[in-house]
Chain A
Amino acid sequence: MSFFFEVLLGGLLAGVMYSLVAIGFVLIYKASGVFNFAQGSMVLFAALTFVSLLERGISFWLAFVLTLLAMVALAWTIERWVLRKLVNRPPITLFMATLGLSYIIEGLAQSLWGAQVHGLDLGINDEPFEFQGMLLSQFDIFAACVAGVLVLVLSVFFNKTRTGIALRAVADDQLAALAVGIKLEKLWLIVWTVAGFVGLVAGLLWGARLGVQFSLSLVVLKALPVLIIGGFTSISGSIVGGLIIGASEKLAEVFLGAYIGGGIENWFPYMLAMLFLLVRPTGIFGERQIERV
């Protein structure tokens, strides 16, 4: 039984890591109704920039600030040269634009910083410790705490600040938001910057675990079923979705994998997400759209 709980707990902690990436998607979707396919590339860009600065002898916090500035510059460029030109275009157009952006950012990151694999040590010991007969990872617990703080801060930002409320208004109806004097460009710049910040945090944690390399951009594949289950508009939903996906995929791999061939972790979360789609298309915390006919 303790093995079952060890797998379950390990899965929950892995799920939090997926949530970190999913939050970046939610932020942009919540504020602009755009599914930002480039979020994974932003994670890669942020982590690669950070680690490359670090390797050039820059201190940890200065590298963090400089990377954040680079993410602001990226957000400004995207807003100025892509999004502003596509205001009021259909969502599929914006989605296709982010698809293109994804490849551009990936290529840019590798052109700027090279294609080598970099190790990243955040100074957090990853030696396991024993708790009730189960081995737990200090790093995973640290990552869970970071995710918790991030959710708290973002929830306050969206619910209690003027900018946060304005962002929600924009997501509901861009034209109406413009009509009441909300500056769309400024808000998009803010939200893409915040998404860049979340990407940086996710990039550092994933980078410390995988090494900073191209594959970081593939962690989005783990975030998609999380979004489907948690809903595209809820930050708390990202966490809950992450926990469900993390726990279920690990339990399925360990206890079902042996009977159906193993290696099921890639498709099992998507199967689960599809079942959720059938029952609750907006996800657990997603907002149901009601339109007047």
Chain B
Amino acid sequence: MKSTLTKFSKLAIAISIGAALTVNAAHAEGEQYFPLQSYRIGPYAAGGSGFFGGFIDYLQYVNLKDGGVNGVKLTWSECETEYVVEKGVECYERLKQGLNGAPAAATNPLSVGIAYATLDRSTADKLPLITINHGRTDSTDGSVFPYVFPLQLNPYSEVSAIINYIGTQSGGLEKLKGKKIVTLYHGSPYGKETNPILELLAKKYGFKLTLLEVPHPGNEQQSQWLNIRRLKPDWVILRGWGVMNPVALKTAQKTGFPADHIIGNIWSNSEDDAAPAGNAAKGFIAITTHPSGTDFQVLQDIKKYVVDAQKGNLEDPKRFGTVYYNLGVVNGILNVEAVRVAQNKYGKRPLTGEEVRWGFENIKLDDKRLAELGALGLVQPLTLSCADHEGGGAVRFQQWDGSQWHVISDWVQADRELLRPIIEKSSHQYAKEKGITPRDCAKES
């Protein structure tokens, strides 16, 4: 933000001496812009401030350590959405043109609602829309959704990996037959998105599935948990958001359900979800695509170059290395990597959204590259393509000990072969409704 303000001041001075065009041209040569539809106030501010804090700190780190990407400085500005869809769209429109001549690389709203509302605009404006760990599942199919990237994990992969984990815990997927699984889901399109896949998996593996809805915001769940007490399930999958998560854990304790048989999804996996539940959260298991912690090399470097230099974005330094913060760092790594990959093709200069999209589609993060980035163990190996905008589809499981998370599993892969035809059916249906001709990914290079 400071860097953005500095540039803004420079521009103002330049305009006053009548050299605006020259300065704009200079910016265009030297900077790549990230428009940030952030949310730091409102009901979901805890998630927003952690995520965007991590994202900004990573961009700052790249600037301070390497002077940007191949000499192209990264710049950004924030627009407060409060997680409100209309404000998110307004911010998109305001920021999409870039800043002081620096072109926009991609948008990262971290909101299902805003992502849905700006999906068509992003495609029309040729500006990548990044929905890391969330968003429309069928946008995994890049032939229909060329500008949308549900990086790392789409919602279908998420539940598939959870069922695979439960299968492993039960002694094999065939042992799932006859087991009882309850899914407690947030009463919203996000919460309901995975229900058809869970039903499909229940049919495939023979477990008995019960779906229980918790009305938004989820601050009262007595009846759902009494139902769970009556059903006596083997496992409960918690597909929560915000306040729903600690309340679920507290109410589970009140009704005698063990926390170590509750598995939280990707939006039930932060410190802010478990800590407010106090003792009730001890033993709670949740998935993650990015462990919390500060031991990773990239986190140590951010600390050295950014945080210790008093240039960190977090108001509360204790949040450094938390789940939301680390997700922001991971998101930063993937965005910057896309710019770097695209520069190798288009030249070491600020890129258009269309060029950055090519970069995203050609990201290849193997262990060697992750080690170079200092992110081995923090980010899963990821290979994206025209056809596959998700790339990973694996999660690890972590358990809350009362004060912090501990990773308790290796990467557990979703059954992507099973999911792919369902994704394609949905994306082709979308293409038909919108009159889109899918790209031929075989011809993309």
Task: Point out residues on A near B: beta carbons under 8 Å.
Answer: 3, 6-7, 10-11, 14, 107, 110, 114-121, 126-128, 135, 137, 139-140, 206, 209-215, 218-219, 222, 249-250, 253-254, 257, 261-266
Contacts and interface: CB of A to CB of B under 8 A. Distances in A.
B250, B276, B277, B278 pick with most chain A CB within 10 angstroms: B276
Interface string B212-242: 1111110110111011011000000000001
B417 interface: no
A120 B319 CA distance: 18
A10 B222 CA distance: 7
Nearest to B275: A119
Contacts of B415: none
A210 B243 contact: yes
Given A110-B41, A115-B48, A128-B253, 16 more contacts: A3-B226, A7-B223, A14-B222, A116-B272, A119-B277, A128-B256, A135-B256, A137-B254, A211-B246, A213-B243, A218-B217, A219-B219, A222-B219, A250-B222, A263-B215, A265-B215
B46 interface: yes
B250 A209 contact: yes
Q: Which 9 A-B pairs have the closest CB atoms?
A: A211-B276, A115-B45, A263-B213, A253-B223, A215-B243, A266-B215, A117-B272, A119-B276, A214-B43
Nearest to B226: A7
Nearest to A107: B41
B332 to A, nearest CB: 21
Nearest to A137: B254
B255 interface: yes
Contacts of A14: 220, 222
10 contacts: A3-B230, A11-B223, A114-B315, A116-B319, A126-B280, A135-B254, A215-B243, A218-B217, A254-B223, A266-B216
B276 to A, nearest CB: 2
B42 A214 contact: yes
B283 interface: no
A114 B276 CA distance: 16
Contacts of B37: none
Contacts of A261: 213
Contacts of B243: 210-211, 213, 215
Contacts of A120: 276
A263 B239 CA distance: 14
Contacts of B45: 110, 115, 214
Given A114-B316, A128-B253, A213 B276 contact: yes
A263 B246 contact: no
B187 A263 contact: yes
Contacts of B315: 114
Interface in B252-289: 253-256, 272, 275-280
A7 B45 CA distance: 34
A262 B246 CA distance: 21
A11 B220 CA distance: 10
Contact of A215 (B212, B214, B242, B255): B242
Contacts of A263: 187, 213-215
A121 B226 contact: no
B212 to A, nearest CB: 6
B415 to A, nearest CB: 27
A262 B242 contact: no
A167 B140 CA distance: 63
A107 B43 CA distance: 11
A135 B222 CA distance: 12
B40 interface: yes
B49 interface: yes
A264 B275 CA distance: 28
Contacts of A210: 219, 243, 246-247, 276
Contacts of A128: 253-256
Contacts of A214: 42-45
Contacts of B242: 213, 215
Nearest to A257: B223
Contacts of A119: 246, 275-278
A250 B319 contact: no
Contacts of B316: 114, 116
Contacts of A135: 229, 254-256
A266 B213 CA distance: 11
B188 to A, nearest CB: 10
B42 A212 contact: no
A63 B37 CA distance: 36
B266 to A, nearest CB: 17
B222 A262 contact: no
A8 to B, nearest CB: 10
Contacts of A209: 247, 250
A57 B253 CA distance: 28
Contacts of A121: 278
A215 B253 contact: no
Contacts of A222: 219-220
A11 B226 CA distance: 11
Contacts of A3: 226, 230
B224 A253 contact: yes
Interface in B273-331: 275-280, 315-316, 319
Contacts of B40: 115
Nearest to A117: B272
B277 A265 contact: no
Contacts of A114: 315-316
Contacts of A264: 215
B272 to A, nearest CB: 4
B259 to A, nearest CB: 12
B184 to A, nearest CB: 11
A256 to B, nearest CB: 10
A262 B220 contact: no
A263 B224 CA distance: 9
A14, A114, A118 pick with most chain B CB within 10 angstroms: A114
A115 B220 contact: no
A137 B213 CA distance: 23
Contacts of B220: 14, 222, 265
A120 B278 CA distance: 8
Contacts of A7: 223, 226
Nearest to A139: B254
Nearest to A261: B213
Interface string B339-364: 00000000000000000000000000
B438 to A, nearest CB: 35
